[in-house]
Structure 1
């Protein structure tokens, strides 16, 4: 069950992680209230200042409802994975993909210590079945932060194959896990006449035998087609597939 709440946060550091990714470390005010989901792919929404003259503001709880009784301007917001959360230090790590014209990307490119941003309580979808012996992770670069965190939280004894579509092979990251990992990197994101070819990659994946789990994240249409392939063409149990459309071609994720 989602627990609605909102928080101010301040940039501690911002660094270029790879050519297409910026890592921002945030100090979250009121961190003791933040309710974690228990899902390794959990995401929050970052709320940005609506313009250069207007500071970030948040909804407030009034008469049991969240709103803006003061008439403050709503802030544009976008969803991002919590790459790491340290409650004791009130520190949240968020990796943002940078691309031309993106609200979050524009903010991340200019982010510096002390900058303010808003965020909300997280949501998540990933849920590994207790009997799973293997996992397939399929995503484009927007899903890489979640995939990396999922791998870090996997127990030993799981066979993990991760397939990641990148705009450039320089965007590869070191992946760590107690599980046995095999990583496949695809230099095809935004190339070859398509924004993403995640669905084509899915059709080349051969699933192991025995009980497993599939997690898919990326462009919504490609994610949907990938899910259909595993479910319909391969007959894989749809209850063991988590498919999340992180973005939609030609649309802002609002």
Structure 2
């Protein structure tokens, strides 16, 4: 057992408090559209229905209700990238990595268009301060990673490892935290291959009391989790991993911890 693993096993993982929210449908209107990178589209929504919208954790999800080509309504999970309750504003980033109904809607959205959302059902809030974070993910995890980085307070140490299609997909974040960023590159055609992420993960020295958050394609997230737990000996109580999407399956997710 490594010194890191032994030390952290003596300290329980940070306590998480589940805060439930009122479930209600909300209709909002497109007020701004920004092409952040070639593969990431940011849409800002406003509307009176957002007056009581609440999202307390960077990895919350809302359900978007988007029309399909057949006229049906598809439900897709997305991260509230940023919100301002007083301004009745919600920002959502769309990773343009597939041609699903939510992506098509976002790419064709115009100012004034409306969209209905539901949720979030609840927020998993860290009840105790986490001094160090290691955030690992792909394009679909960038909204959560970016929000956590930007909301972090001074004195927090964050390392991020994100895999994207190329240097043009890199994003930059303003934060009070002590931030170190690593970017890995691979074509979207091999987005379920974990090698690009693993090559960097294996070089990272994990300090005691580092909470690791992983989100990517399910196979990739599983491989990264295995590397952290089995090869590096990182305690499971200091890790949360999930498959934000599953290659070849529509609207599929996998929780791995």
Conserved? CA contact 1:47–1:118, under 8 Å? yes
**2:211 matched to which residue of 1?**
213
Contact 2:191 2:217 in 1 (8 A): no
Question: What runs of 5+ residues in structure 1 fail to find an aligned partner?
Answer: 55-72
Is the counterpart of residue 7 in structure 1 residue 23 in structure 2? no
TM-score, length-scaled by structure 2: 0.81
Contact persistence 1:129–1:240 (CA under 8 A): no
Contact 1:49 1:117 (8 Å CA) reproduced: no
Aligned counterpart for 1:30 among listed residues 49, 62, 73: 49
Q: CA deviation digits over 1:115-174, x for unaligned, max 9?
A: 111111115666557353311000001111110110011111122110010012101111
Runs of 4+ in structure 1 deviating by more than 6 angstroms, as ranges, are none
Indicate yes or no: 2:57 matched with 1:39. Answer: yes
Match of 1:49 among 67, 70, 86: 67
Whether 2:167 is the aligned partner of 1:148: answer no
Q: Is 1:117–2:115 an aligned residue pair?
A: yes
Of 91, 106, 114, the match for 1:93: 91
Judging changes above 3 Å, is the alpha-carbon distance between structure 1 residues 104 and 186 closer, same or farther for their aligned structure 2 residues? same
TM-score by length of 1: 0.82
Instruction: Could you tell me which runs of 5 or more consecutive residues in structure 2 were left unpaired when the two chains were aligned.
Output: 1-19, 253-257
Partner SS for 2:78: strand
Is contact 1:11-1:24 (8 Å) kept? yes
RMSD: 2.3
CA contact (8 A) 2:192 2:220 kept: no
Q: As a proportion of its length, which structure holds more helix? A: 2
More divergent stretch after superposition (219-228 vs 15-24): 219-228
Deviation at 1:34, TM superposition (A): 2.4
